[in-house]
Amino acid sequence: MRTRVAIIGAGPAGLMLAHLLHLAGIDSVVLEDRSREYIERRVRAGVLEHPTVELLRECGVADRLDREGMVHHGVVLRFDGADHRVGLTDLTGRSITVYGQQEVVKDLVAARLATGRPILFEVADVALHDLETDAPSVTFRHADGSPGRIDCDFVAGCDGYHGVSRPSVPEGVLRVYEHTYPYAWLGVLARAAPSHPELIYSAHERGFALHSMRSPEVTRLYLQVAPDEPLADWPERRIWDELGRRLAVDGFTLNEGPLIETSVAAMRSFVVEPMRHGRLFLAGDAAHIVPATGAKGMNLAIADVRRLAAAIAAYAADGRTDLLDGYSDACLRRVWRAQHFSWWMTSMVHLPPDADPFSERLRRAQLHYVAASPAAARSLAENYVGLPFEGADEQGWYEGR
């Protein structure tokens, strides 16, 4: 098989890249090691930034998002038994939309299939070759076990943190920046109506809790737990009791319902630099991970591939290489801003297990400042709704296609 871009991974990054390239008339092949059913059911992110929603709309893949997505104009910081609302729209003119990542994936898979361009599920043994040359290739096994090979101009490594793309870069080329937080999130999905119309970030003396949602019938809830917390120690009753304690304020009732899914996710920050090696371009979780508190992971993945698609389109149109050469630096500016915001939000609302009295006072001072100062709240809000995409060169290049 010969194509312009071999895309490894059909998560938000790979699928969005495939669609943007299609709109620019550029062919690609998407390789995914899981089944279509699996990736369309994988529950993960759920908060879409304003620029992400705009991009999905401009690309014609937001019909269902516009019908079913829940637009939110604020988030609530809950501490000391009281609510402090951060009015996102009042402060920035923008909003966020709650719409499950698996729904974004479903919409993008449908869009891909409608183009008739290839997406291969359940492939195995994906390997990247000759990345430092002008003629890289990818070998793999099809779902039926037969061997496959793709010759291409570029390889897009969109295969997440555990994928094969990043490890294909020779040792010593990438710089790795990592930070592990001393807590994890126990997350549950419950068949229960949300107990509040907006997300609630509760900084409680027993630890952090988050009230979120996926639909008018499904609530998403998280509890700060120890990094090595065994899920077996958390029977359903204990989860609801602890959520009830950490989310308690006068007049608030937590709606309970059957748990559909329970998981424990580590909280960590990870970035590799640069996000390119030869003809391999890394995007999304393959290059960076943020703690979930700031709801930035999926949004960063989409921002990366928007830039990558524009760079490949400019190369395909008239041989320009400046956008390809600037890809890594430009992405990393947004990545580090999101990394800082995610670290800041995380540090502000979580109770560190080794908290000393001084740092606890600082943390509480920060909470009070955001609650009391419109300037501090606005800084939170503009990061939360998503900073505008940079780059006049790339702005809107896909519009009207």
Per CB under 6 A, which region of 8-16, 254-262, 270-278, 353-361 contacts ligand FAD?
8-16
> What sign does the CA torsion over 145, 151, 152, 157 have?
positive
Tell me 338's DSSP state.
Answer: H
198 binds ligand FAD (CB under 6 A): no
Q: 159 or 198, CB closer to ligand FAD? A: 159
Q: Which of 31, 131, 138, 271 binds ligand FAD (CB under 6 A)?
A: 31
N- to C-terminal Cα separation, the chain: 26
194 binds ligand FAD (CB under 6 A): no
> In the stretch 103-132, what mask flags binding to ligand FAD with x, by CB under 6 A?
-----------------------x------
299 binds ligand FAD (CB under 6 A): yes
Comparing C-alpha atoms, which of 255, 164, 170 is closest to residue 218?
A: 255
Query: Which tokens belong to 35?
Result: 């089944």
| Dist. CA 272–CA 166, nearest whole Å | 9
Q: Which residue has the tokens 């296609």?
A: 401
Residues 311 and 323 sit within 8 Å (Cβ to Cβ): yes
159 binds ligand FAD (CB under 6 A): yes
| Dist. CA 155–CA 99, nearest whole Å | 29
335 binds ligand FAD (CB under 6 A): no
Comparing C-alpha atoms, which of 127, 126, 155, 152 is closest to residue 276?
A: 155
Q: How many residues bind ligand FAD (CB under 6 A)?
A: 35
Phi, psi of 80 (to 5 degrees): 55, 35
308 binds ligand FAD (CB under 6 A): no
- Tell me the closest approach of the beta carbon of residue 125 to ligand FAD, in angstroms: 8
38-97 binders of ligand FAD (CB under 6 A)? 39, 44-47
> What sign does the CA torsion over 22, 326, 279, 178 have?
negative
Query: Which tokens belong to 220?
Result: 């998403």
Per CB under 6 A, which region of 11-19, 60-68, 233-241, 314-322 contacts ligand FAD?
11-19
164 binds ligand FAD (CB under 6 A): yes
Q: Which of 26, 119, 156, 158 binds ligand FAD (CB under 6 A)?
A: 158
189 binds ligand FAD (CB under 6 A): no
Q: 45 or 312, CB closer to ligand FAD? A: 45
254-293 binders of ligand FAD (CB under 6 A)? 265, 284-285, 292
- Tell me the closest approach of the beta carbon of residue 119 to ligand FAD, in angstroms: 11
Comparing C-alpha atoms, which of 360, 286, 315, 294 is closest to residue 128?
A: 286
Q: Which of 10, 111, 119, 311 binds ligand FAD (CB under 6 A)?
A: 10
Residues 92 and 139 sit within 8 Å (Cβ to Cβ): no
Residues 123 and 143 sit within 8 Å (Cβ to Cβ): yes
- For binding to ligand FAD (CB under 6 A), which residues are involved? 8-14, 31-34, 39, 44-47, 101, 126, 158-160, 162-164, 187, 265, 284-285, 292, 295-299, 301
